[in-house]
C-alpha cells in the first residue's frame, strides 16, 4: 500500500497481460478517463468512527457527494457494509465476481476497507484496487466485475439514479475465471 502526502492509501491499477502496475493517482485517473471511467479521491470533513451511521457517513462526504450527485443527475445514495459478519458472505462475493453490466452507472466511494474492480474494455482487462478515499464511476453497460478481495471488508457509499433499476446483467463470458483468485 502507498500513501500520498494527504494520507490517502493510493489506488493501484494493474494490467495482467502486460504486467503493468500504476500507483500514481493522476496516471490512474488519465488511464481510466481515456476508457470512459471516472476516478477521483475524496476526503471526509471529519474523522469517522468505526460505528458511524449511514447518515453520519453521507454527511461527512456531503461537500463532495452533493455536487457530484447534482452534476450527474443522481437521485439516491446509501452506504453498504460487507465484512466477515455479513450473512451469506460467499453468495455476496460470488454474485459480483462474474463479468456483468448494468443499465445505469455503478458508482462506489470507498469509506473503509478495500475492493478490486475489474474491467474488460475494448478487449483489454485491467483492475483497480480501491481503498478508503477512492471514488469510481463505471458507466452504464461497461463490462466489469468486483472482487471483495481476501479480507472481504468494505464500507462504501453507493450512488444511483434509480436503485430499483440497479441489477447485474451477466455476460456469461467466463473471462473473470482467468483472473480471480480462489478464496
Ligand atoms: Fe457491477
1 falls in which pLDDT band (50, 70, 90)? very low
pTM given for the model: 0.92
**Ligand 1 midpoint to CA 23 (Å):** 23
Residue 119: per-residue pLDDT = 98
CB 44 within 8 Å of CB 155: no
Query: How far apart are the CA of 97 and the centre of ligand 1, in A?
Result: 9
Residue 130 C-alpha to ligand 1 middle, in angstroms?
A: 14
Compute the distance from residue 140 Cα to the ligand 1 centre, in Å: 9
Rounded to whole angstroms, the Cα distance separating 76 from 158 reads 8
Decide: 125 and 142 in contact? Cβ < 8 Å: no
> Sign of torsion, CA 136 114 99 89?
negative
State the distance from the centre of ligand 1 to the C-alpha of 128, rounded, in angstroms: 14
Residue 64: phi and psi, rounded to 5, are: -100, -40
CA–centroid distance, 1 to ligand 1, in Å, is 24
Whether 144 contacts 100, CB under 8 Å: yes
Q: What is the per-residue pLDDT across 99-120, written as a single tens digit (0 to 9) for each?
A: 999 999 999 999 999 999 999 9
Residue 142 CA to ligand 1 center (angstroms) comes to 9
Say how many C-beta atoms besides its own lie within 10 A of residue 163's C-beta.
13
Mean per-residue pLDDT for 167-173?
Answer: 94
State in Å: Cα 62 to ligand 1 middle: 24
In degrees and rounded to multiples of 5, residue 118 shows phi and psi of -110, 140
> 67-111 pLDDT, tens per residue?
999 999 999 999 999 999 999 999 999 999 999 999 999 999 999
What spacing in Å lies between the alpha carbon of 2 and ligand 1's midpoint? 26
Q: Using pLDDT thresholds of 50, 70 and 90, give the confidence band for residue 4.
A: low
Distance 144 CA to ligand 1 centre (A): 6
Query: CA–CA separation, 134 vs 155, rounded Å?
Result: 12
Q: Residue 5 C-alpha to ligand 1 middle, in angstroms?
A: 31
How far does residue 171's CA lie from ligand 1's centre (Å)?
12
Residue 133 near residue 41, CB atoms below 8 Å: yes
Amino acid at each position: 500500500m502507498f500513501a500520498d502526502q494527504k494520507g490517502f492509501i493510493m489506488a493501484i491499477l494493474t494490467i495482467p497481460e502486460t504486467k503493468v502496475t500504476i500507483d500514481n493517482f493522476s496516471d490512474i485517473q488519465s488511464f481510466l478517463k481515456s476508457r470512459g471511467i471516472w476516478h477521483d479521491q475524496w476526503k471526509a470533513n471529519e474523522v469517522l468512527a468505526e460505528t458511524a451511521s449511514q447518515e453520519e457517513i453521507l454527511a461527512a462526504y456531503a461537500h463532495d457527494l452533493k455536487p457530484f450527485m447534482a452534476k450527474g443527475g443522481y437521485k439516491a445514495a446509501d452506504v453498504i457494509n460487507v465484512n466477515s459478519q455479513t450473512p451469506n458472505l460467499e453468495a455476496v462475493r460470488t454474485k459480483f465476481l462474474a463479468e456483468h453490466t448494468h443499465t445505469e452507472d455503478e458508482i462506489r466511494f470507498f469509506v473503509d476497507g478495500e475492493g478490486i474492480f475489474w474491467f474488460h474494455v475494448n478487449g483489454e482487462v485491467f483492475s483497480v484496487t480501491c481503498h478508503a478515499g477512492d471514488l469510481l464511476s463505471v458507466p452504464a453497460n461497461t463490462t466489469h466485475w468486483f472482487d471483495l478481495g481476501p479480507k472481504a471488508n468494505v464500507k462504501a457509499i453507493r450512488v444511483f439514479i434509480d436503485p430499483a433499476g440497479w441489477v447485474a446483467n451477466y455476460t456469461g463470458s467466463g473471462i473473470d475465471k482467468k483472473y480471480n483468485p480462489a478464496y
